[in-house]
Structures are given as structure tokens and as C-alpha cells.
Amino acid sequence: MTHTLAMDRVLKLVSLLLSLFLFPLFSFSASDANWSVYLGDKAATHYSTLDQITKSNVSQLEVAWTWSGGEADANNRSQIQCNPLIIDGVLYGTNAKLKLIALNAGTGEEIWRFDPAENPRFLGQRGLNRGLVYWSDGKGDDRILFSAGRFLHAIDAATGKLISSFGEGGRVNLKKGLGRNVDHLYYVSNTPGVVFENLIIVGGRVNEALPAAPGHIRAFDIRSGELVWRFNTIPHPGEFGYETWPKNAYIEIGGANVWTGMTVDEERGILFCPTGSAAADFYGANRKGENLFANCLIALEARTGKRLWHFQVVRHDLWDRDLPSSPVLLEVERDGEKIPAVAQTTKSGHVFLFHRVTGEALFPIEERPYPASTLPGEEAWPTQPLPTKPAPFSRQQFTADEITDISPESYREVMDRFVTLQPHMPFAPPSEQGTIIFPGFDGGAEWGGAAATPDGILYVNANEMPWVLTMINVRAGSSNGQRLYLLNCVTCHGQNREGSETQGQIIPPLTRAGLRERRVRPHMAISKIKNGVGIMPSFGHLVEKDINDLIRFLYQENNDDEEGESSDESGSIRYSHTGYHKWHDSKGYPAVKPPWGTLNAIDLNSGEYIWKRTLGEFPELIEQGIPPTGAENYGGPVVTASGLIFIAASMDEYMRAFDRDTGEELWRFKLPAAGYATPATYSVDGKQYVVIACGGGKMGTKSGDSYVAFALGD
């Protein structure tokens, strides 16, 4: 297998070199043929210089090949969010079961696959995967760095085998080296790290409720897996920002993690890290203060982890306003001068633009006052920063004038509920009455990220979906089991154990009937609580008594033995919330007027918009004569030198190409399952391809397990 792969690479390289001499009509070079870094490059621009597919011929795209792994979940709960890598004619990606695959990028033929679940310590807690890291020493040591669950794996790119000299037998346990024991806490890595010199720098995903692991940023030696440096996002005593937390926060509070991906300015040696909120998401009485470095864009010295500058986008976050995407490095022009810039998109629909080196804001930022919290013990920060330019790419306020008008019935339904909720304004604090979050918990912008061109134009897709956040007093439970449910389970499974949709996935009910229907026995439930499964985190911090009390509550058994206080580490927390609830009408459409999903082109030289278009549609509404509304979308765009934008992302399951200058849709193709991922473009033997992972599985859409590649016909 290795010999065949090596010969294949040699032949492809010779063929590519010949094509460069014999067919000068193509302007790309050998290096342009690859998509060797997550999101295109270490600047996360999503940009390709390939120009064989153009505005005039994109309508002639055909399916070049389809690969299917055949492991999609029958209950539509699996996904593929991977932006694949393509290096020297080989595509590396992950499938619906989080197996790493290598394919012939010209034909789709499978070369090898690696299953991380072969590790007996994996425990089935896979998480998701959004991409990979490739590294080569130029002397035959070519490796793929691949995160699955809590492990970072080093895989031989030619054979698909673990590189035993890395970490422990080819793996690094990312729960180690965080400065405190988090073995019993949830920690996975969904998004690839970034390479700088001999370092692989990584973040991770942690629990958004308490207890939670800290989200410190770490650099490992890419050969050995040894920890080289760590930046504490929840500062330790004596470190900058320590005073913005309670004194014991560094050993008690979690979060402030980089779950979205990082970028690096290799020339200047600067690493850019976007962090998420501190745990717990919506109630911060135990973390009073600004909470540095949560919700920050942080510039670090890439070799050492030393802080250079930072900007906090949300103070004392109470709205789950994680920075949702990798920062984009680009150049903008001011008064005829090229300025190295970094652009950060947000869930609220803003773009913050800074000078890469100094951290100076390149458009003014205003600190604006907002209301205080009404929840006992909570202290919302009195002001929040917002840029004056560009204007937000998502609407900022859900007023009565914005209630859906797709039908009189939908309008009445939404209005009847609207008047019962706390009036909406940006940064309205969470409440027991119910607080509208708009744009929603998933943006505005989200993890797909934005694309940028060398002339300073940013392309970002966005959601405009209202959600309703309702806080609940966890001490109101009538038994220890119910209190534990309200604290640990309600946010996903619902206040009445009815199930919900969260993170784009359908969460099953935990009613007695629901458990019986799924044939989940008490001993099986105990195992899932202790170890986690799928996207469900481990609740290994719960002691045996608490787990037994929780099981009795779930199965509605006699609660006489549940008296007394819980020994749960989070017992001091007074408020939780009833879950992540999108606000739809009874037909399943968003409660707000369209557009519900958009694609935006923003000139960051001037801060002005070039165009805005809806992204996605509902065919049944089109048939009723309603103009395209846009739809929720997950996954980002790719932009090419020939003037095209490729994007799937939408729940209508189409892949589309747009004119990057005008926003006009030029081509679309119905995928076998929705492409909730960022595409990649590359060339093999002089032919340009565009490929997308078709994993579906979010928002009630069917799951898939395929990659589809497109090219021009011969």
C-alpha cells in the first residue's frame, strides 16, 4: 500500500509539472494545487488562487466523484463538519463515525482509514471533527494531526498508522497539562490546531455548565508530543487579568476556551486566539468581574505563548457570546498604505478589525451602557463594546415590527408569545420571565468562518434566528434527583424531560416513556452518565449517591431516599436554564421576518457593504410565491481568484456558487445530504476540483456519510 501510494504521488507530481509547461493557460502553481491547511491557509482566508473554474463556465460543473463511508446514523444524529485537506493528490478527511480517511483526490478511491475508537480508553465519546493538521519535515516524515474526543493523534500520512514516538503510542491526552485535575470533566477537541515551526498549538471544547475544565491554550512539540508552553485563559495569581475574577476562579471556574480554531502570522510570529465564554454560560454570580480572557481575541507570541495584546469583545458574558470563528488575517488599505489586519466575526453579527501588531482598532469601538441583571447574586457588566463600522451583518433587535409575516396565523402565534417575554434589546440580561436572544446562540456568524480576498473584502454567511432563554432556580427541585436534573440535564433534555434541539442536533426525551421506547435500562443510563456518549459529556464528577438519585428521578421511582443535600461540586449554583430553544412558529419557520440566512460581502478598507444576499430557501414557500427567505446555515465559504464563492452550509442541502463581485447565484447542486462544512478546492493533473463533506444531521435534516467532488467535464 505504501509503495503504491508513493509511486502514485510521484506520477501525479510529474503530471502536474508537465501540465504547467504544456498548458500555461492555467495560472496556478504546484503549491496552489493543494489545500494543505484548515480553511485554506494559516491566515484562515478560505482563499484559493485556482482559476480554472470561472464565472463563465461554473454552470458546467459536474460530479467528478463521490465517496461514501456507509456509516451515517440511522436516526440522523451523525454529522461530518470536516473541511478536508488535499496534499499531493490525496484527500484527508473524517467520516460520520469520526474515522480518519485518505482518498485519491482525483477519483475518490479509498486508500486507508484509521479508527480512533480502537483505543480502549476512547469510551465512545467522540465529539465532532471540523478539520485536520498536516506537517512534514520535508524528509519523508509526513503526518496528519487529528483530534478525536480528548486525544490528539499523530498519523503517518502514507500508511494511516499511529506514529508511536508521538505522546503515548501516538496520542496525547489533552486532559493532561491543564494545571489542575480534569479527569472527571468533559474535554474534547473538535477543531484542528495550527502549526508554527515545530509546534502544534491547540484549544479544546469544555462543558458550558459547571463543573468545567479551563480552556487554556497549549503548544506541543510536533515530533514528541511534549508540552512546550501554556497560556492560562483563566489567569493564575500574579498573572495579567487575575484581578478580573474571584480569587479562586483559576481552580474553580472553567471555560474561556478556544473551540473555533486559531490563526498565525508566520512572518511576525504572532498567534491569534478567539476565546469562548466562562462557565456557566448564563449565570455568573460565582465569577463576578470582567472575566479576562473569556470572550477575547488574544495575540500571543507563537514561540512562547507570551501575551502581546488582547481585546475583550464581551465583558462578563451572560449570553453565550463565544467568539465563533477563526480570526482572518488580511491586509486593508488606509490613505494609500497597506495595513496588516486581523478581522474577528461574532455571534452578534459584528466584525471587529484590529492592527495585527499593535491591537489598535481600525474602526472606532464604542463602550455602550446596558441594563443590570434582575437575578439574585448576578452582576451584569454595565457596558459592552461595539464597533461603529462595519454595520452589523445581522439584525440587532427583535421588535414587534420584526415579527414574521409569512402568514397571518404565524404572526398571531408569535405575537401572542412575544408580549409575555422580556422586551428585547441587545445584552438584555437573562431572566426567569424569558429573554429573547437575537441573533441567536448560533449567530450571526458561526464556526464556518469568513473568507477574505487579497484586496480586503470579507465574505461571511450569517443566521438570523431568535431563541428564547429562560432561567430556572435549581433549588426549586422537590428532591435531590430533580435538583440534579435541573442543574446538569435540563439544558439539553428540557425542563419536562421532553427533549430538544441543541447544537443543531435532536436531543432525545428522558421521559419514562421515551427511555422505555429507546430500551435504555437504568444500568445503561448510569454508564452514559459516568462516561458520556456522542455529544453528551461525561458527568463523572457526580458521586454514586447523586447518580442513583438522578436515575430514580428519571425512572420516576420512589424518591424517599433522596432527602439531603447534593454532593455535586456545582451545588452552590442557584440558577440554570431550561435549554436552548429556537423560536419557530407552529410550522417550523423562524419567528422573525426573513431573511433567515444571508451571505454578505464587506469591504474592510472602507467598512461598507458591497452586497447582501439570502442563502438557502424553503421550496414550499417559493411555491407559495414568497421570495427566497434564506435558511439557517452552518459551514463557511471558499473564495477563488476567478471571482467565485463556493458554499453549501444551508439546510436546503444545496451546494452553490456565487459571483463574488455581485452576489449573483451562478450554479447550484442538490447534495445527497446537507453540507454543514466548509468546502475545499484543489487541483490534480491540471484539473480543478471543489469538494464538500455531506454529513447532514443538523436541524432535523437526514444524516449522510459522503464527500462529493465537482469538476468541469472533459
pLDDT of 548 reads 84
Task: Provide the 8-state DSSP code for 373.
Answer: P
**Look-up: residue for cell 471533527?**
129
Name the phi and psi angles at 188, rounded to 5.
-135, 170
Question: 471-578 has which CATH code?
Answer: 1.10.760.10
483 Cβ neighbours under 8 A, 6+ residues apart? 474, 475, 477, 566
pLDDT of 513 reads 66
Task: Report cis status (omega within 30 of 0) of the bond before 269.
Answer: no
β 47-48/638-640 pair status: parallel
In angstroms, rounded to a whole number, what is the distance separating the alpha carbons of residues 69 and 270? 39
Task: Report cis status (omega within 30 of 0) of the bond before 595.
Answer: yes
Q: Residues 638, 648: contact at Cβ < 8 Å? A: no
**Beta bridge partner(s), residue 13:** none
pLDDT of 122 reads 59
The residue ranges of every structural domain in the chain are 471-578
* 10-residue averages of pLDDT along the chain (714 residues): 41 39 36 91 98 98 98 93 98 96 98 87 69 97 95 97 97 96 93 97 94 97 98 98 98 97 98 98 96 98 98 98 98 96 98 98 98 96 98 98 96 97 96 96 96 98 97 82 82 79 69 73 78 74 84 70 48 81 96 98 98 98 96 98 98 98 98 98 98 96 97 92
Instruction: Give the H/E segment covering residue 15.
Output: helix 2-22
pLDDT of 481 reads 84
pLDDT of 15 reads 40
In angstroms, rounded to a whole number, what is the distance separating the alpha carbons of residues 151 and 288? 33
251 Cβ neighbours under 8 A, 6+ residues apart? 180
Q: Residues 161, 172: contact at Cβ < 8 Å? A: no
Q: Residues 441, 336: contact at Cβ < 8 Å? A: no
pLDDT of 432 reads 95
Task: Provide the 8-state DSSP code for 531.
Answer: H
* Angle value at C-alpha 62, between 61 and 65, nearest 5 degrees: 130
In angstroms, rounded to a whole number, what is the distance separating the alpha carbons of residues 486 and 606? 48
In angstroms, rounded to a whole number, what is the distance separating the alpha carbons of residues 712 and 689? 8
pTM exceeding the 0.85 threshold for the entire prediction: yes
Q: Which of 325, 260, 258, 266 is nearest to 298 (CA)?
A: 258
Farthest-apart Cα atoms in the chain, separation = 83
pLDDT of 126 reads 62
Task: Report cis status (omega within 30 of 0) of the bond before 679.
Answer: no
In angstroms, rounded to a whole number, what is the distance separating the alpha carbons of residues 3 and 11? 12
Structure-block grid coordinates of residue 559:
424518591
Q: Count the residues in the chain.
A: 714
pLDDT of 121 reads 63
Structure-block grid coordinates of residue 574:
442557584
DSSP, residue by residue, 390-448: SPPSS-----GGGB--S-HHHHHHHHHHHTTSBPP-TTPPP-SS-EEESSBTTBSS-TT
Q: Which of 161, 234, 148, 152 is nearest to 199 (CA)?
A: 152
